[in-house]
Amino acid sequence: MIEVKRVEIRDRATLVPALALRVDGDDDPLLARAGFHGMPFVILIHFTHMECQFDPFGWTGRTMHEAHLWLEANWDNLKDGGVLDVEWILGETDKPKESDL
């Protein structure tokens, strides 16, 4: 099963349009064959740079890394098209940013 969400990732002076996919490969022999079985995982796509990672530690820089970790732990807490604010996640601001779009 694959769930898809559009995400507005925000950080200090940063807005990243992204797409997140939550994949559960337990019942999919093709994904299992590729090594993706067990716990669901998140694939995150940075639209501006067209970079994609399934490993949160594969990103360079904190914005995508922290956003990816947060998505893995809090998938159900973000609505499609929602704002994910890295500064707020890290406790650097008192309230999360709202969308500028």
Arithmetic mean of pLDDT, 69-91: 97
**pLDDT tens digits, residue range 58-75?**
999 999 999 999 999 999
Is 100 domain-assigned?
Answer: no
Q: Which domain holds residue 50?
A: 2-89
Classify residue 98: in a domain, yes or no.
Answer: no
Alpha-carbon span 88 to 94, nearest angstrom: 7
* Predicted TM-score of the model (pTM): 0.91
pLDDT score of 1: 81
80 falls within a domain: yes
Tell me if 99 is assigned to some domain: no
Residues whose CB falls within 8 Å of the CB of residue 20, separated by 6 or more in sequence, listed in order? 4, 5, 6, 7, 42, 43, 44, 45, 71
Is 97 inside a domain boundary? Answer: no
pLDDT digits (tens, 9 = 90+) for 31-58: 888 888 777 899 999 999 999 999 999 9
Does any domain span residue 12? Answer: yes
The DSSP 8-state label assigned to residue 51 in this structure reads: E
Kindly state whether residue 7 falls inside one of the protein's structural domains.
yes
Tell how strand 14-23 and strand 82-85 pair up: unpaired
Mean pLDDT along residues 19-42: 84
Is the pLDDT at 101 greater than 90? The verdict is no
Domain count, the chain: 1
Within a domain: 56:
yes
